[in-house]
Structure 1
Amino acid sequence: MSHSAPKYAPNKGVAAAVKKALGKNLIAVDEAHGEIAVTVKRDALVPAMIALRDVCEYQQLMEIAGVDWPDHDPRFEVVYCLLSVTKNHRIRVHVWTNEDEPVPSVTGIWPVAGWLEREVFDMYGVTFAGNDDLRRILTDYGFVGHPQRKDFPLTGYVELRYSEEEKRVKYEPVQLAQDFRNFDFMSPWEGADYVLPGDEKGASK
């Protein structure tokens, strides 16, 4: 027995409705690849989200994601994925910020945002004003740095090991072999234009 795929509401009329609901709090509405992305002013995030929930009927917050753009100012993009259960339609809301500019928390609208905001804070260092429980959630309590930043070293700064002599867990600075100290940020799928240690064995066959 075969089943048809679930039907999703089309994007027709959504952009116009969002523009009317958000008014001056809206920066841009973009439609691409069958999805609608809304960019709003950071300081107006809470009233914009309330309008999207109450006027446009996007009742559920499904996810909050962070994006790091090191060469962009502001550097960090925070993306909210909303779902309308009555219209069976999804939308993305984007805000931009820097490390020293907190994003207003939406925990007063959706309590689930507390955990999601903690993930973005932990991974990217973005802070959320109004979140009373903004602690690390994925890394250790004493972790230094934010792993998803594109300038964070792939090896981290410290490593964890158990010392049999001291009978305790110890944090120590990461020590790398000289061959792996420099990282060129090239995609591994593209391949390097230099010979890696051990590659010369295959070339000699």
Structure 2
Amino acid sequence: MDKFETLTGIAAPMPLVNIDTDMIIPKQFLKTIKRSGLGVNLFDEMRYDRQGNEISDFVLNQPQYREAEILVAGDNFGCGSSREHAPWAIKDFGIRCVIAPSFADIFYNNCFKNGILPVALPQEQVDVLMKDAEKGANARMTVDLEAQTITTSDGEVFSFEVDAFKKRCLMEGLDDIGLTMEKAAAIDSFESRASAERPWV
């Protein structure tokens, strides 16, 4: 998993509440178990018409937001089903941080396991960041996980809370497999001892 330390990038504004996981990645794209290739279908039903053509006024289709790495969204982001494909699609598009007043719990936890930083802030602070994001590609935000701060293009700074364990995992690029592999020496030692003590197993 990619490490997350400091990110400076374009923020895309999406002031919608209750963006559910089916809006993030519709059900017809859930057949794959690969984490790559889903970015093209992120927000598919909002990005494309029925003929597959881009809808020009959708935020991520606008030239200034095609390279967005931060998403500023409305309340209750990631609600609905628990599909892990949702953070896969977000990450594959190139977004590493989602900022919203609140998140659905399962989606929130899935983000950390897939290298995405979800940041929950009070509505009034999200409103400021939303307006900053609306400035386009020249307005770049900085998200500093170590300092737990978000800095707007105008230099205004907001602090956020994050669980210490989840923070460490993101900063060190550790998913569940990576955490297990940290214990590889202890696991090998246990297996060797168990084999010696119970060779019949």
Give the TM-score taking structure 2 as reference length.
Answer: 0.30
Structure having the higher strand fraction is 1
Structure having the higher helix fraction is 2
Greater C-alpha radius of gyration: 1
Give the TM-score taking structure 1 as reference length.
Answer: 0.29
